[in-house]
Amino acid sequence: MLEKLYVFTSGSLMHIRWLEVQRRLNPSEPPRQLQRLCDTRWACRATACRNIRDRLPAIHELLTEIANDADSDRAIEARGILLQLDFTFVLLLNFFSEILNTANAVSTQPQAKDADLVAALDLLQCLTDNLTKCRDDSSSEADKFL
């Protein structure tokens, strides 16, 4: 879905409209580009999730405008994407944004010029502990419903 949104907004006409909608809805912030996904980089996926999460109202507005346009191919595509922006998508987007941003912070720390390997190991242990706690909390919550 992240890639689909990137491709939809990256065409020349759609890109111009995407920037216009962002300026209209967020006049005090510079427009953001949606990120193309890369299979090998955490940072790319973290940025993609964060940008879509932060600009979800603008994405919804753009898709709604396009869905009501006369251009049938783009309108149909926009309607199809709008149907996929449901509660589950938003929930997973927020969930993965948090996890990927945390993992990205941990993975970029050892790459700094003044990297401290002990601090990096501490961050990695904290990340592991947090992910384990998240998984365990989810399991215990799910058990309540079984």
Q: Report the distance separating Cα 27 and Cα 108, nearest Å.
A: 31
Mean pLDDT of the chain: 85
Q: Which long-range contacts (CB under 8 A, 24 or more apart) does 63-72 make?
A: 63/8, 65/17, 65/21, 66/14, 66/17
Task: Determine if the pTM surpasses 0.85.
Answer: no
Share of residues in the chain with pLDDT > 70 (%):
93
Is the pLDDT score of 23 beyond 70?
yes
